């Protein structure tokens, strides 16, 4: 159904509740911070409701705790634990998931690429902080000028 302004409006019944929303296994794995192929087959084959996902987050079963503890970990988790970006992982040649042991080995004996990526990440964070401070200062100045 179209309104006078040409915008579409939803004309159906919006009866499905927020709690009954279903997550594809890949999205649920992202939310849980785990590598989907390492999860049990039952998890990979079945969508989860929001309530089921929240239950897994609140009371993780042993397999989930084990995956979070030892891996293999997906790239966002690996990048976060190393203090670099996902793109930095790719530049460093890391394209596969890593275990906690492998991540710790990289932290303990950082290769040259990791040191460079950490420096780049530090520069990016510093620039983001500078931009945020400049934005806040401009906002404060605009408020005081009123």
- At 128 the pLDDT is 94
24-67 pLDDT, tens per residue? Answer: 999 999 999 999 999 999 999 989 898 888 899 999 999 999 99
Residue 13 predicted with pLDDT over 50: no
Share of the chain above pLDDT 70, in %: 86
Q: How many CB atoms lie within 10 A of CB 84?
A: 25
- At 17 the pLDDT is 58
- At 68 the pLDDT is 92
- If DSSP codes are grouped into helix, strand and coil, which group holds residue 24? coil
132-146 pLDDT, tens per residue? Answer: 999 999 998 888 887
- At 76 the pLDDT is 92
Residue 119 predicted with pLDDT over 90: yes
The residue-averaged pLDDT of 79-108 equals: 93
pTM across the whole model: 0.71
**Which alpha helices (H) appear in the chain, and where do they start and end?**
25-32, 41-45, 50-58, 62-70, 75-82, 86-91, 100-108, 112-144
Contact predicate 97/73, CB 8 Å: yes
- At 45 the pLDDT is 93
For the chain, the C-alpha Rg in angstroms (whole number) is 22
Q: CA 98 to CA 78: how far, in whole Å?
A: 7
Residue 72 predicted with pLDDT over 90: yes
- At 4 the pLDDT is 46
Contact predicate 31/23, CB 8 Å: yes
């Amino acid at each position: 159904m179209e309104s006078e302004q040409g915008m579409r409006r939803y004309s159906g019944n919006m009866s499905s509740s927020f709690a009954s929303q279903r997550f594809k296994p890949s999205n649920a794995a992202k939310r849980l911070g785990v590598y989907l192929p390492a999860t049990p087959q039952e998890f990979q084959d079945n969508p989860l409701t929001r309530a089921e996902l929240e239950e897994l987050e609140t009371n993780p079963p042993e397999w989930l705790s084990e995956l979070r503890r030892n891996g293999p970990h997906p790239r966002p988790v690996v990048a976060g634990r190393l203090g670099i970006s996902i793109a930095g992982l790719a530049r460093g040649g890391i394209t596969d998931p890593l275990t906690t042991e492998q991540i710790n080995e990289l932290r303990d004996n950082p290769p040259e690429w990791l040191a460079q990526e950490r420096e780049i990440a530090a520069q990016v964070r510093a620039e983001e902080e500078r931009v945020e401070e400049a934005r806040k200062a401009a906002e404060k100045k605009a408020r005081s000028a009123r």
